[in-house]
Structures are given as C-alpha cells and as structure tokens.
C-alpha cells in the first residue's frame, strides 16, 4: 500500500472525497512528524508507537577499499507494533 492507496481507502471508508481524505492523511503524517521532531513519542493504542533514537558518530569501513571512514551522527525513527496489530497480522 502506498499513500495514494491509503487516501483512496480512507475516502471510501469514511464516505468523503479523495481531496478531503488526502488532506486528512497529510495532517496525520504532519502531526506524527512534528511530534517526532520535538523528541516525543507518537503512541496509538493497539496500532503501535513511533519514536526516535539518537545514533552517535562512529567509525565504519568502506568495504571496497578497506579505508576507515566516519559515519555522522543521526536520529533515526523506530516503530514498535502494538499487540492488536501484531495479532491481526498473525
């Protein structure tokens, strides 16, 4: 499923236009993004939790040359599926 498929599913399920569904989906994604940027978690009971993790700068190795390189620090996004979602998939 991609974003267009999600918008179509929301529009059909909620009985609204695709434009309205697109705005709603964009608003949800923007809200989750803003929450993660501020360092908070976005938790949806039964679905799962989005959170961030800081990865410090580290040394790595270029596999083709064998040279040591520095890998920059970054913040990554994590998702932990909730029990209801896990049960529904299994």
Q: What gap in Å lies between CA 45 and CA 79, rounded to an integer?
A: 13
Q: Which residues pair with 50 in a beta bridge?
A: 42, 79
Q: What is the dihedral of CA 62, 77, 80, 32, to 10 degrees?
A: -160
CATH number for the domain including 24? 4.10.520.10
Query: What is the span of the domain harbouring residue 29?
Result: 3-89
Q: pTM of this prediction? A: 0.81
pLDDT, one tens digit for every residue, the chain (90 residues): 999 999 999 999 999 999 999 999 999 999 999 999 999 999 999 999 999 999 999 999 999 999 999 999 999 999 999 999 999 999
Domain total of the chain? 1
Length of the chain: 90
């Amino acid at each position: 499923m991609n974003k267009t498929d999600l918008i179509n599913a929301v529009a059909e399920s909620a009985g609204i236009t695709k434009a309205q569904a697109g705005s709603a989906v964009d608003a949800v994604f923007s809200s989750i993004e803003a929450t993660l940027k501020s360092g908070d978690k976005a938790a949806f009971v039964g679905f799962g939790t989005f959170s961030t993790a800081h990865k410090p700068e580290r040394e790595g190795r270029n596999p083709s040359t064998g040279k040591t390189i520095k890998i920059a620090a970054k913040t990554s996004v994590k998702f932990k599926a909730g029990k209801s979602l896990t049960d529904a998939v299994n």
